[in-house]
Amino acid sequence: MQASSRSSFQPAEAGAILAGAVGICAGGGALVGWAAGATRYGVLGGVVAGLPAGVFAVYRRFKGYFS
């Protein structure tokens, strides 16, 4: 029985996951802001919430690499 190989870190994939999470949160924030009448602030709130969400998503994807 062989030990499982360590997953490799792929910066392009990590960047895509981060950008995707921030984009999804910004879009959701834009919808909430639009419904409330302040689209600009909704997008800003979505981006602020999306950064930690994106970092968490990258960590979850590559957690084997960081340990």
Three-state helix/strand/coil letters over 21-45? HHHHHHHHHHHHHHHHCCHHHHHHH
List, for the chain, all residue ranges whose pLDDT scores fall below the cut of 50: none
Predicted pLDDT at 8: 79
What is the rounded distance in angstroms from the CA atom of residue 35 to the CA atom of residue 31? Answer: 6
Predicted pLDDT at 9: 80
Predicted pLDDT at 10: 86
Which is it for the CA torsion 45, 47, 48, 51, positive or negative? positive
